[in-house]
Amino acid sequence: MTVRRLMLALPLLGALLTGCGIRATEVPTDFGAAPSRVPCSLAGPDLSTQSAHGVPVQVFLLCRASLVAVDRTVRVPEGTPDARRRVIVAQGLLDQLAAAPSASEKAAGYATYVPGGLSVSGPGRHDPEDALRLSAAPSRLSSYALAQLVCTLSDSAATEGDGSVILGGPGDLPLRRYDCTDGVRNAPGSTQPPSSAVSPA
């Protein structure tokens, strides 16, 4: 009798299990867009890129072929003279630009084209006092990297904050004043930062 009941129950049990499987596939599984589906949008502050101590700054990263400002911090020792402070901030900005974006930034579509190992120094003997000299000539950088550098430096504590920055390569290579414009921010790959020659001080 028990065996007969089990044999009768097996088809019913199979139907129930099959039904459960069908119902499971009908339950919606998309509870919202993943970060990678929302380009250039970060859910909140990225703590991995923040520092407990430092000067708040912004760097420009690439996202969907445009420049987008991202918050960072740069460490500056207290009591640093202004001239030295400018160079420390500029170097900190370069280091932040050359660092790989965080996991959440990558998921949102952020990228950087600034090469690692790039260094910056203050003005040479005959340079204007607000000039910055890079370890590589600006003309050797890609259009994306130059746009990132110009827009990041031009509105920072490393410059006069007027939307432009005086940059040159090592040694006595000619200096140029570069401007960060809306066109550069919107299309850094095809729009070079406008520039003009700078005369020695």
pLDDT band at 53 (very low <50, low <70, confident <90, very high): low
Task: Check pLDDT > 80 for residue 8.
Answer: no
Task: Check pLDDT > 80 for residue 76.
Answer: yes
- The mean pLDDT value for 9-32 works out to 43
Residues forming beta bridges with residue 70, ordered by sequence position: 59
Task: Check pLDDT > 50 for residue 49.
Answer: no
141-191 pLDDT per residue, tens: 999 999 999 999 998 988 877 889 999 999 989 999 999 999 999 999 999
Q: Write the DSSP string, 24-91.
A: HHHS----S--GGGSTT--SS--GGG--SSSEEEEEEEEETTEEEEEEEEE---TT--HHHHHHHHHH
- Maximum alpha-carbon separation in the chain: 108
Average model confidence (pLDDT) for the chain?
Answer: 82
Q: Which long-range contacts (CB under 8 A, 24 or more apart) does 29-35 make?
A: 34/107, 35/104, 35/107, 35/108
Task: Check pLDDT > 80 for residue 30.
Answer: no
Which helix (H) or strand (E) segment holds residue 55: the answer is strand 55-63
Task: Check pLDDT > 70 for residue 7.
Answer: no
Task: Check pLDDT > 60 for residue 25.
Answer: no
Task: Check pLDDT > 90 for residue 11.
Answer: no
CA distance 159 to 154: 6
79-113 pLDDT per residue, tens: 889 889 999 999 999 999 999 999 999 999 999 99
